[in-house]
Amino acid sequence: MYKVVLDVMGGDLAPLSTLKGAQLALQKFPDLHLCLVGKKSVLKDFEGLKRVSLYYTEEVVGMEESPKDVLKKKKDASIFKGLEILKSGEAQAFVSAGNSGAVVAGAIFILGRLEGVRRPAIATLIPSLKDPFVLIDAGANVDSKPFDLFQFGVMGSIFIEKIWKRKNPKIALLSIGEESGKGNILVKKAHQLFINSDLNYLGNIESKDIFRGEIDVVVCDGFIGNICLKLSEGLAEVILEMLKNEVKNSFLYLLGMRLAEGAIKNFKKKADWREHGGAPLLGVKGNVIIAHGRSDAIAIANAIKVAVNFIKFNLVEELEKAIIETLKVEEEP
């Protein structure tokens, strides 16, 4: 039985979306046991259900609250209570669509970092012309050092190799040009670290090329990564909206849309961030999945699915082994 903690109170659409997502996940996965954390009044309909444990708290972290402040003032909030449950061994993974900064801070403070990890990072799957690729870091760290980027590459490589079965994953650094001399000091120094490693590093990649599917792991700092992620999400949504608006202008366009309905549905599914559910926080001592703040029931259920896969493949242990090896790589001063 796979035991997953779900922060019921986290997310823009919570608790309705998280409760519906929990129900979907329980229906899909017969070997799943959910530990639901939230207000007693919210969880009343789940009392007495099989494969469900309830943990009550009246404290909730708002989406706009400072992670540093809530760690001090709301120690019993659903995010932190859920992470404590994971740390105690009562569960094997934690999922939240709540305040991502609070999840990152809480995971580092409560669970701790894996040995040798300087900065845990968020690894997000993004669709491409071929298979999805990993963007890391997608927002956990606004400021990073060259060695942090190198470790992000290592963790992203292990993630996509073990979970998505990509042997010898291809890694690239996101920069303003393909040439090794392009980029800021951070990128240039990180480039040298990758060159000196045994990783399958192919050099720099420009943002216009990351969606072609030639790279498995795209590495950047969290500031750039989060901008890149939200830009791609917004662009996909706008393209679909523009297409719908154009179709309304002509009966022939509408007919063509009907004929291409299957292809359009497939495109929407590939471009839909909900299909990937959640992004793992790599580098902490536990399976922590951060779902999108706008997650609906489908996204929550898929985030729980990601958590189950992490449990199955014992990824944390694999990451720790790989990270210890990175310490043998000397960073340039």
- Which CATH number does the domain housing residue 165 bear? 3.40.718.10
Sheet holding 121-126, edge to edge: 52-56, 32-38, 2-7, 93-96, 287-291, 278-282, 121-126, 133-136, 217-219, 171-175, 201-206
pLDDT higher than 90, residue 308: yes
- Give pTM, 2 decimals: 0.91
- 303 in the same domain as 189: no
- 14 in the same domain as 55: yes
Between these two residues, 264 and 72, which has the higher pLDDT value?
A: 72
- Taking the alpha carbons at both ends of the chain, their separation in whole angstroms is 48
Angular region, 139: left φ>0, alpha ψ -120 to 50, beta rest? left
- 180 in the same domain as 265: yes
Q: Quick one: pLDDT band at residue 314, thresholds 50, 70, 90? A: confident
Q: Tokens 């060159």 appear where?
A: 195
Least confident piece of the model among 102-116, 130-144, 233-247 = 233-247
Whether residue 322 is contained in a domain is answered as: no
Amino acid type, 216: D
- pLDDT for 330: 52
- pLDDT for 333: 45
Q: Express each pLDDT in 198-250 by its tens digit.
A: 999 999 999 999 999 999 999 999 999 999 999 988 888 888 888 888 888 88
- pLDDT for 20: 96
Whether residue 74 is contained in a domain is answered as: yes
Q: Express each pLDDT in 62-75 by its tens digit.
A: 999 999 899 989 99
Q: Express each pLDDT in 169-183 by its tens digit.
A: 999 999 999 888 888
Neighbours of 70 (CB within 10 A): 22
Neighbours of 109 (CB within 10 A): 13
3-state secondary structure 219-259: ECCHHHHHHHHHHHHHHHHHHHHHHHHHHCCCHHHHHHHHH
The upper half-sphere exposure of residue 107, i.e. CA atoms within 13 Å in the direction of its Cβ, equals 28
Whether residue 258 is contained in a domain is answered as: yes
- pLDDT for 57: 95
- 291 in the same domain as 268: no
Residue 102 burial by Cβ neighbours in a 10 Å radius (0-12, 13-18, 19+): buried
Whether residue 209 is contained in a domain is answered as: yes
Mean pLDDT of 305-314: 91
- 140 in the same domain as 257: yes
**Quick one: tokens of 126?**
């993004």
Which range scores top for mean pLDDT: 6-20, 237-251, 271-285, 316-330? 6-20
Question: Structurally, how many domains does the chain consist of?
Answer: 2
- 129 in the same domain as 3: no
Closest by CA position to 194, among listed 152, 136, 222, 158: 152
- pLDDT for 123: 97
- 159 in the same domain as 46: no
Average pLDDT, the chain: 91
Q: Are 110 and 83 in contact (CB under 8 A)?
A: yes
- pLDDT for 332: 46
Q: Are 56 and 40 in contact (CB under 8 A)?
A: yes
Whether residue 98 is contained in a domain is answered as: yes
Q: Quick one: pLDDT band at residue 55, thresholds 50, 70, 90? A: very high
Cα(91)–Cα(68) distance, rounded to whole angstroms? 25
Q: Express each pLDDT in 69-94 by its tens digit.
A: 999 899 999 999 999 999 999 999 99
- pLDDT for 328: 63
Whether residue 319 is contained in a domain is answered as: no
Amino acid type, 62: G
- 167 in the same domain as 81: no
Parent domain of 78: 1-117+283-314
- 134 in the same domain as 110: no
